Chains A and B, each alone.
Chain A
Amino acid sequence: MSRATFFVERRETLRVSARNGSVEEQAEREAGVGLTEREGSGASYRWWDAGAHPPLPDAVRHRGAALLDGRPPDTQAVASVVTLARELEAQGRAQGARLEVTVRGLSQQVLCVDGVRAVEDVRQVVWLELRARVEREGMARTALGEWAFATPEALQAAAQRTPGWVEDVVGRARSKLDERPCPRGPLTVVLPPGSDAGVFFHEVCGHPLEGDVVSRGASFLARKRGERVAADFVTIADDPTEGSGGVGYRFDDEGTPARPATLVHQGRVDTPLLDLRTAEVLGLEPNGHGRRVDYRHLALPRMSHTVVRPYQGDLESILSEVEEGLLVSYLTPRHVHLLGGDFCFHFPEAREIRQGRLGAFVRPGLLRGNAAEALASIDAVGADSRTFFGLKGCGKLDQGGLPVSFGLPPCASRASPWSPRNERLDVGV
């Protein structure tokens, strides 16, 4: 028997970028409607831009009218954001750096209607990204800072703190001018709270437990469901309800109420991330993780806000017990093997830890290992969790740039099988 669900979306985006003394601004509105018809494990989806859709059922037409009308995007905040971007860029210049400032805003209203229910949701986020470049004697180094706010007004309210932000980013870039060689071989790895390094858990726990990956037998982690893969104090979840400034929604893009999905519960592999289709295939209840980049796409099981649940201690106490290690603040996924768990991340920014203290920045390198071994080796999780919500989205199939965030307390792996290295087999040129 076929089931039909309407998805209506209005999406306003804002982009302001300042660099080299000039500012570019762009505001856009997109709106449309999609119709999913499911039969068995198959599905058919049709989508239309606003104004080009067929006559809609009353429940969709009445509630969706405000989303599908031709109103231009709200540009009230643009002028103040442009002013802020100019000010920040000037602060970077005053500190001897070339600073690129990017502000992006996303305001999304969605409506899901099926034969049983009609639910609405509003999601808003504004990102500020600062990228500093400093030079000395022909050598250049860069550093990145990213912050997220609920609204442009919240960004403005926080603007009083911006001198600190610019100083932080420029200072890190400048410190990298004196960076040391990247260490080699196994050593302790510490991930700081609220950092981009939270992408590690997104990649090695989240993607392998997406319902479609699980249903195809392609996940190293799903094969261990119920088994212990980490210490008791390690709990990892994907939680769009946490409300700590990361990705959040009340209903997913299929109208299923949002709820946390515990990927690893007290060290044991637990729940996959499910949309309606994969829940049916796996014989489980959907858990509110059907997401799509926009109304032009079918929903897929995706992550939202991936968190490591806090435990005890803080970054300082964790560092104090490290004789020699690496504090890795930024990670860029390079390769994660879903079937076997081997991973390789590029780290563009890391600092030495020596005798419990932070040392110099080290040159970028690669962090390699196996996910099962890395999870098992986590021997400290702090209590001071913070949220990182960056500009980079998550890509899957033809759906790139889906906003995702991480909740990360400091995590350490002292008997680490993670192996940083700074050399590859490269060409002799």
Chain B
Amino acid sequence: MSAWTWECERWLEDAESLASAALRALRGVQEPARGELFIRVADELTAELDPVTGAYQESRGLSVRAAARVWRDGRLGVAQGLVAGEQELAALVGLAGEWAGSGAEAPRPSVDAEAGQLQSERALVRPSSEGLRALGAPLLDGVRGLGVTVQALFLEQRAELRLLAVSEGRCWVERPALERAMARCETSQGAVLDALAAPVLGGARDVTALLGRLRDALEALEGPGEAPDPSLPLALRPTVAAPLVAGLGVLLRGDVAAGTPALARALGKRLFPSAFTLVDEPGRQRDDEGQRASRLVLVERGQLATFLHSTASAALLGTASNARAVREPGGLLPAPGAFGLHIAPGESPLPDDCCELTARLETFTTMPKPGTVSLIAAGWERRGGQRVRRVRPFELELPVLPTLRRLRAVGPDLTFLPALEGCGTPTLLFDPLLRGAP
């Protein structure tokens, strides 16, 4: 093992040594300029499990990637990339510093007084083949029992150390983890894809809910169906409703709102029925700009309360960040985004008579044009509280805002769907709103 591999391994385990390296690198930023260094050390293990033969193929690696931002006279310089040692951290900071003078104007995130302690709220658990196999085994058994062709079983464990250091000599550390399993099943009418995810590695993982959702979807698809009756109330079960939440999450990004004047003007207004409340739970202490994150109610009983903001997007609308800056693994520059977006559950039961959509066939995208969710959905016609006949798969085009304005009630069954950016929703109930013949 090379010295650097040892250094990477050590950094993943030892946040203090990484913080020291980052702060040393930031000493290259001369006042009055100010800088920050964001570093992501990730241990990633993925595997594909052949559903036919049970053959197991895994891929594992450890990666260190960093992004430096330097502000000089209100102008921002940025540099990012893989780093192969402390010298390269300093080089990134130096490069960002060079570009700061000619960069675009950009606000700098605030540095709050109470920050600065290295936080290790959870012990580091590294990915392991044993853990991944233990996750895959019950899933493999389960999907084989569904009686359909399984196209893919994909498993993932990831342990990260995310560190943000700033010129003022402060650091924030988080140790997020992710365990994920995804199954894609083929039916005679199309593919169904679903996943489970958890923010901790290892331990007994209950695949029952995932298998239940898959079974429910497959039941709707395993026989001939008829066209939906447009005169019936519409019930979107969570699997079908989730793309609406994901789509709304995009529209409520601060940078999107800033480019959509009508949306920006709607702030504070009642856009939706009172049954609709949209919440983002951070599940973490700070966002990726070091701002303290708390529960955010984006829509409260129908009223648009706020957008998702990073420091830069907030400045575009003349407000302050609400700690929703997210840095994606591939490109570490912050952009506004949600952490755990979901519609608050209600108490409404399913109507006795309705069109209940329980299955969503996999499509390449659920939002081919901005603001409109496009699905292929199937399910059941319910009469007198019973599923009386299948509704065959049909194209369903849902303009996000107008559709949610027609929401009548919300069910109690809040479900998070990891295959759709982790969004959560209960069953959404609408008065009859389908039109046209498929």
Contacts and interface: CB of A to CB of B under 8 A. Distances in A.
Given A49-B63, A217-B149, A335 B190 contact: yes
A32 B83 CA distance: 12
Contact of B434 (A34, A45, A338, A428): A428
Contact of A337 (B191, B374, B396): B191
A397 B152 contact: yes
Interface stretch (B275-283, B318-326, B402-410): B402-410
A43 interface: yes
Contact of B402 (A281, A339, A427): A427
A339 B187 CA distance: 7
A51 B435 contact: no
Contacts of A216: 50-52, 149-151
Nearest to A364: B369
A426 B361 contact: no
Interface stretch (A52-60, A162-170, A349-357, A376-384): A52-60
Nearest to B431: A428
Interface in B209-266: 227-228, 230
A101 to B, nearest CB: 18
Given A30-B82, A55-B2, A425-B436, A298 B59 contact: yes
B84 A52 contact: yes
Contacts of A298: 48, 57, 59
Interface in B94-134: 104
B433 interface: yes
Given A41-B53, A425-B434, A48 B368 contact: no
A325 B142 CA distance: 48
A281 B361 CA distance: 29
A426 B435 contact: yes
Contact of A296 (B59, B104, B187): B59
Interface string A66-78: 0000100000000
B368 A332 contact: yes
A428 B63 CA distance: 49
Nearest to B6: A52
A93 interface: no
Contacts of A44: 57-58, 60
Interface in B65-97: 80-82, 84-85, 88
A218 interface: yes
Contact of B436 (A70, A212, A342, A424): A424
A428 B59 CA distance: 48
B145 interface: no
A258 B309 CA distance: 48
Contacts of A427: 396-399, 402-403, 406, 430, 433-435
Contact of A425 (B50, B64, B191, B396): B396
B363 interface: yes
A128 B324 CA distance: 34
Tier of interface size on chain B: 35 or more
A390 to B, nearest CB: 15
Contacts of B82: 29-32, 49-50
A243 interface: no
Interface string B187-217: 1111100000000000000000000000000
Nearest to A368: B395
Interface string A33-46: 01000001111111
Contacts of A426: 396-398, 434-436
A340 B362 contact: no
Contact of A342 (B44, B80, B85, B190): B190
A426 B151 CA distance: 30
B5 interface: yes
A34 B53 CA distance: 25
Contacts of A212: 50
A201 to B, nearest CB: 16
A335 B52 CA distance: 24
Contacts of A429: 399, 402-403, 405-406, 433
Contact of A53 (B2, B52, B60, B363): B2
A296 B151 CA distance: 23
A34 B59 CA distance: 9
A427 B399 CA distance: 8
Contacts of A47: 59-61
Contacts of B58: 43-45
Contact of B364 (A43, A332, A398): A332
Contact of B52 (A46, A215, A297): A215
A44 B60 CA distance: 8
A245 interface: no
B186 interface: yes
A308 interface: no
Given A51-B85, A70-B84, A397-B154, A424 B397 contact: yes
A51 B436 contact: no
Interface of B: 1-2, 4-5, 8, 44, 46, 48, 50-53, 55-64, 80-82, 84-85, 88, 104, 149-152, 154, 156, 186-191, 227-228, 230, 361-365, 368, 374, 376, 394-399, 402-403, 405-406, 430, 433-438
Closest CB pairs A-B (n = 3): A51-B84, A429-B402, A424-B395
5 contacts: A42-B57, A335-B376, A398-B46, A426-B397, A427-B399
